[in-house]
Chain A
Amino acid sequence: MRICVAAILLLLINPVFAQFEATSVDYENQIITIALTQEPPQLNGMKATDQVSILVLSHVMEGLVRYDRRGRIIPGVAERWEMDENGATFWLREDALWSDGQPVTAHDFVFAWRHTLKPATASEYAFILYPIKNAEAINTGQVAADQLGVVAVDDRTLNVTFERPTAYFIKLTAFVTYFPVREDFHSAKGEAYGSDPDDLLYNGPFRMTEWTHSASLKMMKNQNYWDRDAITLNAIHADYITADTRARLNLFIDGKIVHTRLDGETYKDALTQRFRIRRFNTGSVFFLEYNHRSERATSNLNLRKAIQHAFDPDEMVNRVLATPGNLRGESLFPVWLNGVNDKFRREYPAPQATYDIALAKEYLAKAKSELGSIPPLVLLVSDSPTAAKQAEYLQGVMGSKLGLEIKIDIQTFKQRLAKMTAGDFDIVGAGWGPDFDDIMTFGDLFASWNLNNRGRYDNPEYDRLVRVAMNNTDPKIRMDAMSELQQILFDDAVILPQYEQGVIYLLHPRVKGVVRRVVGADPDFTYASVAP
């Protein structure tokens, strides 16, 4: 009995035994096994919004263009294109085939884009098609879908007319919402489109062969793919679906999967096991959003300035979040965004708020005199553990350094959304991930017409600068406008940037060629291979 207990205790202390042969990689057959973080809710590319669905869709389907290993745009279904201020033309390749052998035609794109914009489809990402002429009008129900500024000149030529000059349009077409859908197949499937492997047509490097809901998903190399010679892997098996990071780490240690993300706790185990830890910037920015409605205390500029100078972003990143890879929050625009010739933040450095308690207190005194008294501020956060931790930290800092009382309002997902929409908060913990590879994906967040601007920040100058960047194609003009925007965000303390998200992860050493992306499929196994 006692020996039994001792043995169990011994086994629980995490020993490092010899790492054994992993079953997650198969060199002869070129198969890898991965885990998904959740069941993909939506494999209809016209409606997909979440990371997992985008991951799967980006492997099994392809748009006009795609990204290469270094993040540059290369031809996809389109073998060449031309673009100017008014529109773009794409010439599709001959050998782009669907998985049933039929060619991918320009009509498939026309159908997909029109269908996505139809109000009845209710696609959340419809806005990404707005650069196309009449797209927004169709989406708001003003004109019919066939008025969309896209025409299939013939089976292999696609003509797009812009609503306004859009410099980054080519990059947009790499996104899932722009993927083609064949009309006859879609009509035949109706509501069942995208619900099982047989209910989708594939034109990408892989095709889905099996899907056991909530359990596993298998993809095999698509022999009809035009670039099949560049694809080394024969199959990707997503044999596990769980959101628990520790469970995925255990699967990795057990040799069952080739990739897993680490969080603040599991990375210590990974260190003990002597695994190679890699780092990657997801490109998302997290910040505190203030409520700018006039009846709220947070609409007072001095109050926001006070908070700005009492917040130490280094401490947040290094001691509260305490995982490597996170960068301090300095601006709404993350470091990976491209500027004119170099990264945006290198060409236009973000203004730095000095961490100065005395100055913060001065601002606070001014705010008090303007407002009369400052009521306790309500900080609305989600019920995730990291959000709660960050909120507690802020409450502690603001309380002890400024004497500002903050109440934490924890709400589950939908209740939090309801409150955000209703404006029932003073400060809300928010984040934004990029949808496409251009500065505009962050730029228009706080324009007064943007529904995602939950704090209702309204600044005509801000709006004007957004329009300048939207309507111009000259990079210098656009970036200058965005730089001024960055300054406004700082001077007006519109938000309080917290951090730019970085993640650390493990990858099986024999799997090569995995690409991490900020936009699109992440991780991207398209060009991966198993080394001997």
Chain B
Amino acid sequence: MLMYTIKRLIAGVITVWFIATATFIAMHQVPGDPLMNDKAVTAEIRANLEKKYGLDKPVTHQYFIFLGNMLKGDFGISFTQQNRRVNDIIQDHFPVSATLGILAILFASMGGILWGALTAIYRNRMPDIIIMFLVILGISVPSFVFAALGQLLLVNINSMLGQSVIPVAGWGTIWHMLMPALVLGLGTMAFLTRLMRSSMLEVVNEDYIKTARAKGLSPTRIFFRHQLRNAILPVVTVLGPQIAVITTGGFVVELVFAIPGLGRYFVQAVQQLDYTVIMGTTVFYGAFLVLMVIIVDILYGFIDPRVRLA
């Protein structure tokens, strides 16, 4: 187990290195650069800027400088926010996104597993149809609609209560987190519902379930001890990387709910071609993702002992 983990970590580091290199190359291939702006500057100023930020060196040279700095853990200073170091940006904003993301995943997985199981158990009956209808509606509508509607719902609830009880935007308390996390997790919840349903349907008809029922075990016990464990593997497969995706991809939710998370930086960095922030966030995200995948693979062994990985 330990050997396996170490091997995976080394492979992970190599993967992250590949990610960084590919992104670096792509970033420099795209036209434009972080120094261009609406108001044009003189050639002298431009030359000075390039020298100051090391953009006048050949790209390969810049790459090795970047690599050297990355190994020291220094991602430089943001081009668009020249007072902030990329490391500080990630340090300040990642915990916010992480909290939101974990809460969202919690909602998504609890909801997904629950609804999915219900649809499987009550297959083709009312609960199944209603839930599947909601799932389809949920994925056919773009996510910002739900963000906007969610916020509107909060405004109207406050309005009805006569006081601003639930905050409609901002960050700070648990009350600020509920609606954004719910909206963020909706897509994943829908996916997990469907996934859970199909896994459960396969399991629900298995012989060992019949045996368990014949033996007189209660439905709850059957569900938790037997059905869930056998059906949950695909859910875990999705959840692992999805945590990374949701944590860093909450751009729309962060925008609508005024949350100071990392998601906004991901998108804005590419739009502004802020080289340092792009590299910093991509490497960070890559490392996070790789880590989650490793955890998922190790979990496979625990969930289904029949699975052997190495």
Contacts and interface: CB of A to CB of B under 8 A. Distances in A.
Please say whether chains A and B are actual partners in one complex: yes
Interface residues of A, number: 64
A246 B45 contact: no
B217 interface: no
B218 interface: no
Nearest to A414: B32
Given A247-B169, A412-B271, A15 B258 contact: no
Interface stretch (A6-14, A95-103, A156-164): A6-14
B82 A247 contact: no
Nearest to B148: A246
B37 interface: yes
B162 A251 contact: no
Interface in A103-130: 119-120, 122-126
Given A20-B162, A250-B168, A122 B49 contact: yes
A418 B164 contact: no
Contact of A417 (B36, B164, B258): B36
B155 A12 contact: no
Interface stretch (A211-219, A359-367, A475-483, A491-499): A211-219
A80 B170 CA distance: 45
Given A242-B258, A246-B256, A414-B271, A452 B80 contact: no
Given A139-B42, A418-B31, A243 B170 contact: no
Given A119-B45, A212-B260, A415-B32, A14 B156 contact: yes
B294 interface: no
Nearest to A18: B162
A377 to B, nearest CB: 21
A255 interface: yes
B258 A12 contact: no
B40 A15 contact: no
Nearest to A431: B38
A413 interface: yes
A213 B92 contact: yes
Interface in A414-434: 414-415, 417-419, 421
Interface string A10-51: 011011011011010000000000010001011110010100
B153 interface: yes
B153 A413 contact: no
- Report which residue of B37, B52, B93, B170 has the largest number of chain A beta carbons within 10 angstroms of its beta carbon: B170
B7 interface: no
Interface in A28-80: 35, 39, 41-44, 47, 49
B39 interface: yes
B159 A250 contact: no
Contacts of A21: 163
Contacts of B160: 11, 15, 17
A451 B41 contact: yes
Nearest to A257: B169
**Helix, strand, loop or mixed for chain A's interface?**
loop
A421 B36 contact: yes
Interface in B65-92: 77, 80-84, 89, 92
Contacts of B273: 414
B84 A195 contact: yes
A49 B37 contact: yes
B81 A42 contact: yes
Interface string B251-263: 0000111101100
Contacts of B168: 247, 250-251, 254, 256
B151 interface: yes
A241 interface: yes
B163 A418 contact: no
A413 B169 contact: no
A256 B272 CA distance: 31
Contacts of A195: 83-84
B169 A250 contact: yes
Contacts of B99: none
B264 interface: yes
Contact of A242 (B36, B39, B40, B255): B255
A14 to B, nearest CB: 7
A240 interface: yes
A146 B295 CA distance: 61
A451 B44 CA distance: 13
Contact of B37 (A20, A140, A240, A417): A417
A213 B153 contact: no
A239 interface: yes
A213 B39 CA distance: 26
A39 B269 CA distance: 13
A194 interface: yes
A509 interface: no
A247 B48 contact: no
Nearest to B43: A140
Interface in B11-67: 30-34, 36-42, 44-45, 48-49, 52
Given A14-B152, A125-B39, A452-B39, A194 B33 contact: no
Contacts of A39: 81
Contacts of A12: 149, 152-153, 156
A180 B33 CA distance: 31
Contacts of A451: 40-42
Nearest to B30: A415
Contact of A119 (B32, B38, B48, B84): B48
A358 to B, nearest CB: 39
B157 interface: yes
A253 B158 CA distance: 10
B156 A15 contact: yes
Contacts of B42: 139-140, 451
Contacts of B52: 120, 122
A121 B255 CA distance: 32
B285 interface: no
B255 A247 contact: yes
Contacts of B148: 246
B171 interface: yes
Interface in B268-288: 270-273
A181 to B, nearest CB: 15
Contact of B258 (A140, A191, A247): A247
B3 to A, nearest CB: 42
Contacts of B93: 213-214
Interface in A221-239: 239
Interface in A443-479: 451-452, 454
Nearest to B32: A414
A212 B160 CA distance: 32
B164 A254 contact: yes
A251 B45 contact: no
Given A122-B45, A125-B39, A418 B258 contact: no
Contacts of B34: 414
Given A213-B260, A214-B264, 10 more contacts: A17-B160, A41-B80, A47-B82, A119-B44, A240-B169, A254-B155, A256-B168, A412-B271, A414-B272, A452-B40
16 contacts: A17-B162, A20-B164, A23-B164, A139-B45, A193-B83, A194-B83, A195-B84, A213-B84, A214-B260, A247-B258, A254-B168, A413-B271, A415-B30, A417-B32, A452-B39, A454-B40
8 cross-chain pairs, A with B, having the tightest CB-CB distances, nearest first: A195-B83, A414-B32, A451-B40, A214-B260, A242-B258, A215-B260, A17-B159, A418-B31
